[in-house]
Structure 1
Amino acid sequence: MALRATIYKAAINVADNDRGYYGSHTVTVARHPSETDERLMVRLLAYALWVQADERLVFTRGLSDTDEPDLWNLDLTGAVQQWVEIGLPDERRLLKACGRADQVLVLAYGRGVDVWWAGVQNKTTRAGNLQVFALDAEETKALSLLADRNMDLSINITDRNAWVSCDRGDVSLDVRSLRELV
């Protein structure tokens, strides 16, 4: 018998001072049996970083479907406007995503971020719609401690720093840019 996904519910209050966006969102996220609390919380952070006022950024089947990103924003015709990857995707996946979406965003995390980026950076130079950001491994470990089946998260974003707080504690994360659009 296969293991089933665990359902997490989160009320996310976003105060993005960099973009002048302030909003409250209620999301339900399925955590794949092989997914860690750390990855789940990084997905929620990515949602807060890139949610749009039109609220079309949604969680996909993620780990359950290799043809979909972790989050995406589809326009009314079904075309992919934003494709958001979490973790350390290989260059083939990134280039394929760049061909399918208007904008591809990667939020890399873990101890191997710098090694991963050194390996894929030159192979993705022709991808003009790719942006890559990285999180510190110790900060994402601390973020994972905030995970709970029902969460009320406040995420304040200022100068590429995300302050995540809830009743279980708070964490400050530096969202480091590795590659931005020119």
Structure 2
Amino acid sequence: MAANSTLYRIRVDLSDVDRALYERLDLRLAHHPSETVQRLVARAIAYCLCYTPELEFTRGICEGDTPDIRLPGNHARMALWVEVGQASAGRMELASRKAERVRLFPYGERLRGWEQTHREPISRLPNVTLTPLPRELIEGLARGLQRNNQWVLTLCDGAGYLDCGEANYPFEY
């Protein structure tokens, strides 16, 4: 954990019906001082949506040419590069060369403007999938985030349902 980082724990009961995947995840995320709480939450959601046992968080924000989350592959290319936020087309092109598959999870206030500029060139990259994260989901989870959290996440047919305490958030992915 980086100096001055805050550690957050998110326990997730994940039910991915489409993949017949039912797991209890214990995520421990370091919140770097330069990272927003919204970005931390977006990283956690992206991890859950891409989950496989070998998936791992990287140092991300601390290292410029690495993804936020990755699935190791062979020595030449990683199997999966996961990026969170409003990445540039150039960064996604770099990711598409370094990984077999790339998933980008954009979110945020200026998402519409970002999409107007970057969606088309990123969409042309054959191994990149864009999955925008709904603002209501990210903002709601960020508002309620505590040092220890319990989430129940169900995924089925492109619809997600996330329950955390008193709040629940339906979303599409």
Query: SS at 2:169's partner residue?
Result: strand
Equivalent position of 1:123 in the other structure: 121
Q: CA deviation at 1:122?
A: 2.9
Pick aligned residue for 1:153 from 135, 151, 158:
151
Post-superposition Cα deviations, 1:146-177, rounded to whole Å, max 9, x if no partner, equal 311111211111222221222253222222xx
Query: SS at 2:47's partner residue?
Result: helix
Pick aligned residue for 1:140 from 128, 138, 141:
138
Equivalent position of 1:170 in the other structure: 168
Q: CA deviation at 1:77?
A: 4.3
User: Runs of 5+ in structure 2 lacking a partner?
Assistant: none
Equivalent position of 2:84 in the other structure: 86
Q: Which amino acid aligns with 2:19?
A: R
Query: SS at 2:10's partner residue?
Result: strand
What is the distance in 2 between the residues matched to 1:13 and 1:84?
A: 21
Q: CA deviation at 1:12?
A: 1.5
Query: SS at 2:81's partner residue?
Result: strand
- Larger displacement relative to structure 2 (147-156 or 113-122): 113-122
1:21 correspondence with 2:21: yes
Query: SS at 1:18's partner residue?
Result: helix
Query: SS at 1:33's partner residue?
Result: coil
Post-superposition Cα deviations, 1:46-93, rounded to whole Å, max 9, x if no partner, equal 1110101xx111111111111111101003647411101111000110
Distance change (3 Å), C-alpha of 1:159 and 1:4 = same
Pick aligned residue for 1:105 from 99, 103, 106:
103
User: Runs of 5+ in structure 1 lacking a partner?
Assistant: 176-182
Equivalent position of 2:6 in the other structure: 6
Query: How high is the TM-score relative to the length of structure 2?
Result: 0.90
Distance change (3 Å), C-alpha of 1:93 and 1:87 = same
Q: Deviation above 3 Å: which 4+ runs of structure 1?
A: 76-79
What is the distance in 2 between the residues matched to 1:25 and 1:103?
A: 23
Query: SS at 1:110's partner residue?
Result: coil
What is the distance in 2 between the residues matched to 1:141 and 1:120?
A: 23
What is the distance in 2 between the residues matched to 1:167 and 1:138?
A: 16
- Larger displacement relative to structure 2 (161-170 or 57-66): 161-170
Equivalent position of 2:46 in the other structure: 46
Q: CA deviation at 1:111?
A: 2.3
Distance change (3 Å), C-alpha of 1:76 and 1:13 = farther
What is the distance in 2 between the residues matched to 1:148 and 1:159?
A: 30
Q: Report if the CA contact (8 A) 1:140-1:173 is conserved.
A: no
CA RMSD of aligned residues (A): 1.9
Number of aligned residue pairs? 172
Pick aligned residue for 2:61 from 45, 60, 63:
63
How much identity, in percent, do the aligned residues show? 27
Query: SS at 2:144's partner residue?
Result: coil
What is the distance in 2 between the residues matched to 1:44 and 1:26?
A: 11
Q: Which amino acid aligns with 1:14?
A: L
